[in-house]
Amino acid sequence: MRTAMIERKTRETEIMVSLDLDGTGDYDVDTGIGFLDHMLESFARHAMLDLKVRAQGDLHIDFHHTTEDTGIVMGQAVAKALGEFKGIRRFGEATIPMDETLTRVALDVANRPYLVWKVNFTRPKLGEMDTELFKEWFQAFAQHAGICLHVENLYGENNHHIVESCFKGLARALRQAVEIDDRLGGEPASTKGVL
């Protein structure tokens, strides 16, 4: 079973994430940040993983710590569920249209974290959430999941569409990359013999 449960408690946040990489897209998300909940629910559905998130944070200060720490714990849970990353396809990509918006996401699940973020927003907030925090979430997720992640918004005007296409693109690309490839016979998709 490719499942994991991670808990992280700091003076700023208390986060619990459980997930099943081979789920059906079920989700139960409560971060205290409505827009982030919406994105994580969409992510779970399109990645076809089962996801439960509980987050309590210092929202009276701002949403930064809760957003970043949720990305950290979700990334850790993905890495734990993958174990030694054996037998997975490793690479994934998705190009996601959403009305006037088009976003491309490509990733390599190889325990070599990196983020390229080519996404710009024209509004400082979506709902009550600062748009600059989306990069923080993707950075934290990529670092702790061990994913080389490239996210590029090719064009778009509506900021909601732009960020939602990023999360859906990540979901679809991750779903593709973590699928088991039977032809690998349980071995890593690498000439090194390890990821």
> What fold, for 3-184?
Ribosomal Protein S5; domain 2 (3.30.230)
* CA gap 138, 134 in Å, rounded: 6
**Backbone torsions φ then ψ of 99, nearest 5 degrees:** 55, -115
Residue 145 CB neighbours (<10 A): 25
pLDDT attached to residue 195: 78
Written as one letter, the residue type at 188 is: P
Spatial distance between the Cα atoms of 99 and 168, rounded to a whole number of angstroms = 14
pTM for this entry = 0.96
CA atoms within 13 A on the CB side of 138: 30
pLDDT tens digit at each of 195 positions of the chain: 899 999 999 999 999 999 999 999 999 999 999 999 999 999 999 999 999 999 999 999 999 999 999 999 999 999 999 999 999 999 999 999 999 999 999 999 999 999 999 999 999 999 899 999 999 999 999 999 999 999 999 999 999 999 999 999 999 999 999 999 999 988 888 878 787
Calpha distance 176→72 (Å, rounded):
21
Residue 180 β-bridge partners: 88
CA–CA gap between residue 92 and residue 60 (Å, rounded): 38
> Looking at residue 51, what is its pLDDT?
98
